[in-house]
Structure 1
Amino acid sequence: MTARYLGALPGHGRFDYSPITRRAGYRWPGGAGLAVYLGFNLEHFAFAEGRGANIGLPVPATDVLNWSWREYGNRVGAWRCIELFDQLGLPTGAIINTALYDHCPELVAALVARGDELVGHGHTNAELQGSLAEADERELLLQCRGLMQRHSGLGAAEPGGWLSPWISESPVTPDLLAETGYRYTLNWCHDDQPHRMRTRNGGNLWSVPYPQELNDIPMIVGRLMGGPEFAAMIVDHFEEMLQQARTTPLVMGIALHPYLVGQPHRLRHLRRALERIARERDLGNVWFTTPGAICAHVEGAEGQAAGGSAL
């Protein structure tokens, strides 16, 4: 048997390893240690085509069951969630498929009217971004950006963030994001703090933490977790992070899909969890914000550190 060298494994090259216990300190606005945001995912699928989380076995022809289950989120669940967010005064990072502009423009308009941040999420979750050729992927990023600017009146710098459909990346996705004007990505779930990513030609791109644990699809669909358990998980996660954030600035995202949490039996429990977080927000212990505001804050803190202030 020929001996082989046991060395470093292939890596992505986007960032170095960094233990969270050895980071420079800073605080969020108001002196809070914990920043919390809602990643409110709004998606649309072609009828009887493409991918989607399934309540039943996929049907190869007219898949009425799974399509209509997802459509409940756009017709009913999202509106009930918005009512709850309004009652508690909670902003969202609305992560949207641009196919919504054709299908249900009223829903996107309601989010814009609330002042929510719009985050790019492809044209439809029926397609995988990571399988596209580089030119096609660049065109997807540019077209989604243009549709959001045109239909929602966004400025030239928006949308600032991107979450790939199904978090599907090609080897050049971070590079293309930086080159097409996006400031941050939500694709990576490896940390509790934002940080810069390396991109070709030195482009500017931040990674803002996006959850794969506090996420209703992996928990409710994947692990068959009930509404009470998912809400309890949010509260437990929040209370532990609030304690950890006494010494370390942290980000807690909550990923929600209205066809799941907008179901009345789950919304009842989500309500209790968000009320718990809102109470701490009202006490000044939490910065309840959007992923774009988190990115802007750390970018500003980095600039202060370069000028001699502490990051």
Structure 2
Amino acid sequence: MHSEPQNAAPSIHRTAFDALPVHGRFGYCAIIQRPHYRWPHGAGLAVYLGFNIEHFAFGQGLGARLGPVCPEPDVLNYAWREYGNRVGAWRCLELFDSLGLPVGVLANTALYDHCPELIAAFVARGDELIGHGHSNAHQQGTLDEAAERALLQHCRSRMQTHSGQAPTGWLSPWISESFATPDLLLESGYRYTLNWCHDDQPTRMKTRNGQALWSIPYPQEVNDIPMIVARQMDGKDFAQLIIDNFDEMLEQSRKQPLVMGIALHPYLVGQPYRLRHLRRALQHIAQGRDKGDMWFTTPGAICAYVDGLESLK
């Protein structure tokens, strides 16, 4: 009988080196191997603003923080976030108006109880409403399937009732998903998700009923939360990041269509000194729009456009 040497390495289960678990929503496809198409009027780059207006429970739940975590009620951090609804969002709205920029508004439905006039101001501009949960004090991925479906249906129903439009797009609070989220989104009437940041082009995602849910690129780099809060980037540097990203993607888009999102939160970029720098960045992009270099649009318009392209079906 053969005996294994005492100093031999222990045997390793073969499955340790098998292919890793995958989500099964879409396969790998390199950016250089895609079908060719252009955006409206021959543009190569589509740019949108994802403007997050959010409400947080007082004395409980999650929320971005300016200072150290304090025992609840955490007045410092709660009040800092509320500045965005009372002041910052209105200053940003003035800026968007001055440049004639459409906005994709990612809104918590709790705002209808707290400050409905804020949502109404964007609706009056003709902006797109995008589902963003009831409150950003809670993570969606912790819900069971029934509760998650109820959340998705509630947000569509309440926006339809109060604003006259049911959202076709969704961004989960804290970008928190369950394994069933894409399926539930499609089954609840949504056409696209902004949760995934894996690409610079829209991606068709498979769902359990055989229909496709679009993933529209949503940024985690051109995004004030991870840049300013997590990485403590200064406002002028974040503005330069937006400009540099736009200029580089505009050059890349000469060869293929691309999507650039800009994710903003008014309690951050609505602070006066940051707004000054954001103004400079958006003026730069607006100049590109005025020259016909790109398509300034909304996520919903991007979804509708690619959904109608035969080359992507």
Which TM-score tier does this pair reach, normalised by the shorter chain? Answer: over 0.9
* Alignment map for 1:219-234 (pairs within 5 Å): 219-234=227-242
Are 1:261 and 2:269 matched, yes or no? yes
Tell me the TM-score normalized by structure 2: 0.95
Q: 2:61 matched to which residue of 1?
A: 50
Residue 159 of structure 1, aligned match among 146, 163, 167: 167
Which one of 199, 212, 221 corresponds to residue 207 of structure 2? 199
1:141 corresponds to: 152
Q: 1:131 is aligned with what amino acid?
A: T
User: In structure 2, what is the Cα distance between the partners aligned to 1:60 and 1:99?
Assistant: 24
Runs (4+) off by over 6 Å: none
Mapping 1:71-82, distance limit 5 Å? 71-82=82-93
The reply to whether residue 113 of structure 1 matches residue 121 of structure 2 is: no
Greater radius of gyration (CA):
2
Partner of 1:309: none
The answer for the alignment partner of 1:14 in structure 2 is 25
Q: CA deviation at 1:278?
A: 0.3
CA distance in 2 between partners of 1:204 and 1:196 (Å) = 6
Aligned to 2:13: 4
Structure 2 residue 307 is matched with structure 1 residue 299:
yes
Q: Deviations for 1:122-175, whole angstroms, at most 9, x for unmatched residues?
A: 000001100001000000000111000000011xxx310000000000000000
Deviations 1:234-268 (A, max 9, x none): 00000000000000100000000000000000000
**CA distance 1:305–1:173, shift in 2 (3 Å):** closer
Give 1:65's aligned residue.
76
User: How does the TM-score come out when normalised to structure 1?
Assistant: 0.96
1:179–1:203 contact (8 Å) kept in structure 2:
no
Q: Secondary structure at the match of 1:13?
A: coil
In the aligned structure 2, how far is the partner of 1:33 from the partner of 1:204?
A: 24
Structure 2, gaps ≥5 residues long: 1-9
Corresponding residue for residue 130 of structure 1: 141
Alignment RMSD: 0.9
Distance of aligned partners of 1:304 and 1:276 in 2 relative to their CA distance in 1, 3 Å threshold: same
Partner of 2:6: none
Cα contact 1:93–1:116 (8 A) shared by 2: yes
Counterpart of 1:27 in structure 2 is 38
> Aligned residue pairs: how many?
302
Alpha carbons of structure 1 residues 305 and 39: separation in structure 2 relative to 1, 3 Å: closer
Shift of residue 304, structure 1, vs aligned partner: 6.0
Separation of aligned partners in 1, 2:230 and 2:68: 14
Deviations 1:168-199 (A, max 9, x none): 00000000000000000000000000011010
* Structure 1: runs of 5+ lacking an equivalent: 307-311
Q: Which amino acid aligns with 1:283?
A: K
Letter in 1 for 2:11: T
**Structure 1 position 203, deviation (Å):** 2.8
